[in-house]
Amino acid sequence: MSFKVESDNLRHQAAIWAGAKVDADNVRQTLSVTVGQGDAFGVMAGSMGVSGRYNEWTSDMDNALTDASYSFDYLDAALTSTANGYDESDATASTSIDVLDRKIDEGSYHHD
């Protein structure tokens, strides 16, 4: 059995994930001023739990965007590395699996 890897398509897909990382980073930056600002709802809202729930929600959104950016960066690197490996463009073009594995360390995620 034989197959053909379309390395240009892999690079195109990698670029899409790289763009998604930039988008996630931009949204996170835009929303960063809202994180932990539950007290802005006032004392009455705070006494009813609104402030705490708002703070938890904005923190969760921040963590989700951080994790998305982290994952998108990994997908970009992995797809680019795969394309380079199939093209055999040079001995250092593809990233070793050990390096890629360290790049996506689960301990670096921000989820609860």
What does the pLDDT look like over 36-52, one tens digit per residue? Answer: 999 999 988 888 999 99
Cα gap 63→8, rounded to integer Å: 33
Count other C-beta atoms under 10 Å from residue 11's C-beta.
16
The pLDDT of residue 112 is above 60: no
Q: In terms of Cα–Cα distance, which of 24, 12, 15 is closest to 71?
A: 24
Pick 35 or 101 by higher pLDDT.
35
Name the 3-class secondary structure at 14.
Answer: helix
Residue ranges per structural domain of the chain? 23-108
Q: Phi/psi at 26 (nearest 5 deg)?
A: -65, -45
Question: Which pLDDT score is estimated for 111?
Answer: 67
pLDDT at position 63 is 94
